[in-house]
Amino acid sequence: MTTTTTFEQANSDQKLKEAYFTASQGQLIWARFKSDRTAMIAGFALIFMILLGILAPPLSPYDPSIAGRDKAYENGAPQIPKLWDENGFSFRPFIYGTSRIRSAKTNFRWVITTNRQDRRYVHFFVKGWEYSFLNFSWDFPGETFDVNVKALTFSTHLFGVDKGGVHLFGTDASGKDIFSRTLHAIFTSLAVGTLGVLISFVLALIIGGAAGYFGGRIDSVLQMITDAVRTVPAIPLFMALAAFIPDEWSSEMRFFFISVILGLVGWPTLARRIRTHLLTERHQEYVLAAKLCGASPNHIIRKHLLPSFTSYIIVDLMISFPYAVRSETALSFIGLGLKDPVNSLGSLMQNVSQADVLLNYQWYFIPVIFFIAFVLAFVFVGDGLRDAADPYSDKSK
């Protein structure tokens, strides 16, 4: 059509156009998402953090539980590896050795001093504490059903030092490495969030789906149930449940329980969204066209309704995730959720509100930064997805 362009350019223009014309909705959404810079940056950050969480064990030089604590370095400040100091350059990053003393002069508080002459070199791919990727045991009543799995066991870690400890984010009051704890906390929060969102999603899909698809009386009844569940106030509910949790429950059981509760409390919002999507889509003309061919409800749901809201649901899930993580964090922070020594971002922040910490051990706040970044990344990605998935709105007259 445009005679002023060269043949090759016209050809490649044509190829681009053809690609655009034959692009499915998924591909178009991805293309739009890619062009949103904020969302892409947030996406990478999110993937990075998720990887950090999943690969927490190999990345952490120390066992985040009490077993890995460094008695000689309690409440220690972060140790940042250096490449260069007044004694010269070194290809291998190093940190300084530390020692601690306590005396009358320091008011009987442990004071840690660094020895700048004592270089401890950081090595990579060192052998450290053992961890396994698949490690769980289910304790069922009776002996026969107990499941004990321990697989994929390794003991290589990304970095470590030859002597003493390397604590990138410092340590807490009992000497546990905050860096390791943070990484494991990301994983825990992710896991709790995922499980919670999954449970809400399944419930929301069934209830919201039925309400939206069938409409009428079924819709009214389900709506009443949804609203009833939604009006239950969350904090008192959690307090009651927290009181109910027996102390002897293992942290895994606690964890599972919290996730289930989050899921059960979070489904109404999602259900309402699904219902709205369905109600709109049901009345689209192309659905009527399918009905006029005698399509069964199954066919309509599968071929028209489900694909239509897959993109929206992915967006909704993305946006619900930070809510689940925030809820767990908030709960753990006020002591109703996961407690020390379990690592979750919330439990890590439990100690943060003491004055002592605020004045002296500011590095306790580092997990807070991670938490904020984590939630923000989800939110930006969710927003980006929503903008990209938004109206398949063609310009009508």
Partner 1 sequence: MTLLNVENLTVQFDTDEGRITAVDNVSFSLESGQVMGLVGESGSGKSVTAKALMQLNPRNAVYNGQSKISLTLLDDAPIDVLSLKTAKELKVVRGGAVSMIFQEPMASFAPAITIGKQMVEQLVLHKNLTKAQAKKLSVDMLDRVGISEADKRFDQYAFELSGGMRQRAMIAMALSTRPKLLIADEPTTALDVTIQAQVIDLMKDIVAEFGMGIIFITHDLGVIAQTADKIAVMYLGELVEQGSVRDVIRTPAHPYTQGLLNSLPKLEDLDKPLTPIPGDIPSPLERPSGCVFHTRCPQVSMGRCNVDIPPSVHVKDGHKASCFLIGDNGGPKL
Partner 2 sequence: MIEKPLISAKNLSVTFLLGKNIFGPKLTIQAVADVTMDIPRKSFFGLVGESGSGKTTFGRALLNAVPISGGNVQYNDDEVSYHLERLTKAELKDYRKRSQLIFQDPYAALSPRMTVRDIIAEPLEVMGLMGSREETDERVREIAEKCRLNLEHLRRFPHAFSGGQRQRISIARALVSNPKFVVADESVAALDVSIQADVLNLLKDLQNELELTYLFISHDLSVVAHVCDNVAVMYLGRLVETAPTRDLFFKPRHPYTKALLSAIPSLDPDHSGNVQKLEGEIPSPASVPSGCTFHTRCPHCNDICKTVEPIVEPVAEGHNVVCHRWKELETPEPAN
In the complex, the residues that contact partner 1 under the rule CB under 8 A are 1-4, 35, 397
Answer yes or no: are the C-beta atoms of 59 and 52 closer than 8 Å.
yes
Q: Is 303 in the site for partner 2 (CB under 8 A)?
A: yes
Query: What is the full DSSP assignment across 279-325?
Result: HHHHTSHHHHHHHTTT--HHHHIIIIIHHHHHHHHHHHHHHHHHHHH
Q: Is 16 in the site for partner 2 (CB under 8 A)?
A: no
24 binds, among partner 2, partner 1, none (CB under 5 to 8 A by kind): partner 2
Q: Residue 180 or residue 308: which is nearer to partner 2 going by CB?
A: 308
CB of 396 to partner 1, least distance (A): 9
35 binds, among partner 1, partner 2, none (CB under 5 to 8 A by kind): partner 1
Give me the phi and psi of 151, to 5 degrees please.
-135, 175
Size of the site for partner 2 (CB under 8 A): 28
Q: Is 141 in the site for partner 2 (CB under 8 A)?
A: no
CB of 21 to partner 2, least distance (A): 4
Among 11, 13, 15, 20, binds partner 2 (CB under 8 A): 20
Q: Is 279 in the site for partner 2 (CB under 8 A)?
A: no
- Rounded to an integer, what is the distance from CA 24 to the centroid of its chain? 29
Q: Is 217 in the site for partner 2 (CB under 8 A)?
A: no
Per the DSSP assignment, residues forming a β-bridge with 127 are: 156
Give the per-residue SS3 of 81-97: CEEEECCEEEEEEEEEE
2 binds, among partner 2, partner 1, none (CB under 5 to 8 A by kind): partner 1
Own/partner long-range contacts of 150-157 (Cβ < 8 Å, ≥24 apart): 154/57, 154/58, 154/130, 155/127, 155/128, 155/129, 155/130, 155/131, 156/58, 156/125, 156/126, 156/127, 156/128, 157/57, 157/58, 157/59, 157/60, 157/61, 157/125, 157/126, 157/127, 157/128, 157/129
CB of 14 to partner 2, least distance (A): 12
CB of 28 to partner 1, least distance (A): 12
Tokens encoding 255: 């964890």
Q: Is 48 in the site for partner 2 (CB under 8 A)?
A: no
Contacting range for partner 2; rule: CB under 8 A; set: 15-23, 128-136, 202-210, 340-348: 15-23
Tokens encoding 309: 């809201």
Q: Residue 3 or residue 298: which is nearer to partner 1 going by CB?
A: 3
Residues in Cβ contact with 2 at an 8 Å cutoff, skipping those fewer than 6 apart:
10
Tokens encoding 171: 């340590």
Tokens encoding 315: 């967006």
Q: Residue 147 or residue 293: which is nearer to partner 2 going by CB?
A: 293
CB of 277 to partner 1, least distance (A): 25
CB of 385 to partner 1, least distance (A): 16
Query: What is the full DSSP assignment across 71-128?
Result: GGGTTPPP---EEEETTEEEEEEEEEEEEEE--GGGTT--EEEEEEEEEEEEEEEEEE
117 binds, among partner 1, partner 2, none (CB under 5 to 8 A by kind): none
Answer yes or no: are the C-beta atoms of 388 and 36 closer than 8 Å.
yes
Among 147, 293, 355, 359, binds partner 2 (CB under 8 A): 293
CB of 396 to partner 2, least distance (A): 5
Q: Residue 35 or residue 280: which is nearer to partner 1 going by CB?
A: 35
66 binds, among partner 2, partner 1, none (CB under 5 to 8 A by kind): none
- Rounded to an integer, what is the distance from CA 393 to the centroid of its chain? 32
Sign for the pseudo-dihedral over CA of 105, 107, 108, 111: negative
Q: Is 292 in the site for partner 2 (CB under 8 A)?
A: yes
Q: Is 284 in the site for partner 2 (CB under 8 A)?
A: yes
What residue ranges bind partner 2 (CB under 8 A)?
20-25, 28, 284-286, 288-296, 299, 303-304, 307-308, 392, 394, 396-397
